[in-house]
Chain A
Amino acid sequence: MTTTSTQPRTARRPTTRDLLTRADPRRRWTDRIMHVVITSAFLVALVPLVSVIWTVVSNGVVRMSPYFLSVSMRGVYGGIDAGGIYHAILGTLLITGLATLISVPVGLMTAIYLVEYGRGPLARAVTFFVDVMTGIPSIVAGLFAYSLFALFLGPGVRLGAVGSVALSVLMIPVVVRSSEEMLRLVPNELREASYALGVPKWLTIIKVVLRTSVAGIITGVMLSVARVIGETAPLLIVAGVIDSINTNLFEGRMMTLPVYVFRQYSQGLVPCSPEAVECVATINYDRAWGAALALIVIVMLLNLVARLIARYFAPKTGH
């Protein structure tokens, strides 16, 4: 049979083996090239992520300690080897918490309106304005919240709660959008199954639609929290800067982690005199990195908690 294989290919009919084994070489090459392109795109995308985490962790651990996490900046000056971020952590958690408390009901109910009730021009208008809100620069949200509260409380108002309002302006469109997607994913069959059992619409929405989509909604809320927890500009305007602990959202300025990072970093190097042993020249930078690390860890912890809650509520697959 060796003679047949040396003959020109056109002369003989391809065997079944030929048809099944000889894949189109061009397609094989395209496949290989695309594999390489996709894998390298993934690696390129990974570079900044890994590098950011590496930089923050390596710079942040310098000052990270239980002491750093548990004291404020009250009475700390110059290059003195002291001070921490306790007041900023509290401020961030309180302001973001109140912002979530405002945004989730408003955003979720808007999403319910759009999916379950909204028809015609009003629903289209709401969708349009939600889209517009998504693009609002955060500094504008800050100015908006400031001018709103300045109307009632006079100019120069700085409160944690105003910061929450500014953040919720940024959060609401994200919550609406993500919840809307999740609610639309709930199969209509389940709504109909509920109606057919004589369950009114509002109970169907609460107990079937929201219950089925709660895992996705929590993930969406989590993403929106992550979106605003690192906001600096609006909080710099409306929550201000302070060195001591303030747990009252409705009175006085409040420090937050991003603002803390900004403030420390902008103070720059400390001019230490050679004889001062207690003086650390890079203290401001070290504190800024430490606060940045704390912020990242907080976001990761919140994410973890949200994932656990979402898993608990996720529909059971039965396997």
Chain B
Amino acid sequence: MAQRIDLKDLNVYYGSFLAVADVSMTIEPRSVTAFIGPSGCGKSTLLRTLNRMHEVIPGARVEGKVEMDGVDLYGSDVDAVAVRRQIGMVFQRPNPFPTMSIAENVLAGVRLNNRRIGKDEASELVEKSLQGANLWNEVKDRLDRPGSSLSGGQQQRLCIARAIAVKPQVLLMDEPCSALDPISTLAIEDLMDQLKKDYTIVIVTHNMQQAARVSDRTGFFNIAGTGKPGKLIEMDDTRTMFSTPSEQATEDYISGRFG
């Protein structure tokens, strides 16, 4: 079910501003890939190009190729909406729909798309997705309460449940724990470990320890200065990256010498 993603000579622009330059990498299936690097180096921007969320911003565009299983996501016959159904996303700040209950939030991907779903099928999907996000036991008695009644960590897991309910192949996570406390962070890291059995996961994080804990492969991004494009400095197995990186900049960043 999970598939690999290949980036080839990818340039990402905001209007005429080149935000990320010349990235080529492979994201392995059924594993966690982490993007680390200082603020403004284009990690989140690059992540958003993987499910074509980048182009939602006016003037944003992409050059180069992003291939999932050999199909270019930016090909002329590819539909951005279909791409996003295969590649789900979890955002930095938990964003459950405020007008919907917990159960409705999980079903949002189905309901918002006007797809009909039977009552039994719906409750089964809710239970399965919430269990997948390790939230079922906490909310099973109050599924009709508003999603915003949950704590921040629970809301984020609700967003993960919502994302996996549409059965994507890849899950993108944009600093999913930066607004959460350590306990909730731990819950989500455990969850990632389980989810990678079925999904390809890409996570952007500011927290190097988190990258070291959860990821199998790590990519380090950096910028030469403000106004310059972000670049992929190095990408390797997480263990190698954190013990014997081949680039000096990576070592400096990881050892806390800058950033």
Q: Tell me the A residues contacting B by CB distance below 8 Å.
A: 119, 187, 189-200, 203-204, 207-208, 211-212, 313, 315-319
A119 to B109, CA, bound (A): 28
Q: Are A212 and B97 in contact (CB under 8 A)?
A: yes
Q: Are A196 and B51 in contact (CB under 8 A)?
A: yes
Residue-wise, chain B 133-157 has the 8 Å CB interface mask toward A (1 for contact) of 0000000000001111110000000
Q: What residue in chain B is nearest A204 (Cβ atoms)? A: B112
Q: Are A195 and B145 in contact (CB under 8 A)?
A: no
Q: How large is the interface on B (under 10, 10 to 19, 20 to 34, 35 or more residues)?
A: 35 or more
Most B C-beta atoms less than 10 A away, residue of A189, A190, A191, A199:
A199
Contacts of A212 in B (CB 8 A): 97-99
One of A189, A197, A313, A319 near B88 (C-beta < 8 A): A197
For the complex with contacts A190-B95, A197-B163, 11 further pairs of A-B residues with Cβ separation under 8 Å are A189-B91, A193-B108, A193-B159, A196-B84, A197-B84, A207-B111, A207-B112, A211-B99, A318-B145, A318-B149, A318-B150
A198 to B109, CA, bound (A): 7
Q: Are B53 and A198 in contact (CB under 8 A)?
A: no
A204 to B88, CA, bound (A): 16
Contacts of A198 in B (CB 8 A): 81-82, 84-86, 109, 113, 166
Q: How far apart are B240's CB and chain A's nearest CB, in angstroms?
A: 32
A132 to B101, CA, bound (A): 42
Q: How far apart are A201's CB and chain B's nearest CB, in angstroms?
A: 8
One of B53, B82, B113, B150 near A203 (C-beta < 8 A): B113
Q: How far apart are A16's CB and chain B's nearest CB, in angstroms?
A: 36
Q: What residue in chain B is nearest A200 (Cβ atoms)? A: B81
One of B148, B150, B166 near A197 (C-beta < 8 A): B166
B58 at the interface (CB under 8 A from A): yes
One of A187, A197, A315, A316 near B112 (C-beta < 8 A): A197
Q: What residue in chain A is nearest B110 (Cβ atoms)? A: A197
One of B58, B81, B99, B150 near A199 (C-beta < 8 A): B81
B56 at the interface (CB under 8 A from A): yes
Q: Are A119 and B163 in contact (CB under 8 A)?
A: no
Contacts of B166 in A (CB 8 A): 197-198
Q: How far apart are A87's CB and chain B's nearest CB, in angstroms?
A: 42
Residue-wise, chain B 95-117 has the 8 Å CB interface mask toward A (1 for contact) of 11111010000001101111000
B93 at the interface (CB under 8 A from A): yes
Q: What residue in chain B is nearest A211 (Cβ atoms)? A: B99
B162 at the interface (CB under 8 A from A): yes
Q: Are A315 and B98 in contact (CB under 8 A)?
A: yes
Q: What residue in chain B is nearest A317 (Cβ atoms)? A: B148
Most B C-beta atoms less than 10 A away, residue of A189, A193, A315, A317:
A193
Contacts of B147 in A (CB 8 A): 318
Contacts of B85 in A (CB 8 A): 197-198
Residue-wise, chain B 74-98 has the 8 Å CB interface mask toward A (1 for contact) of 0000000110111011010101111
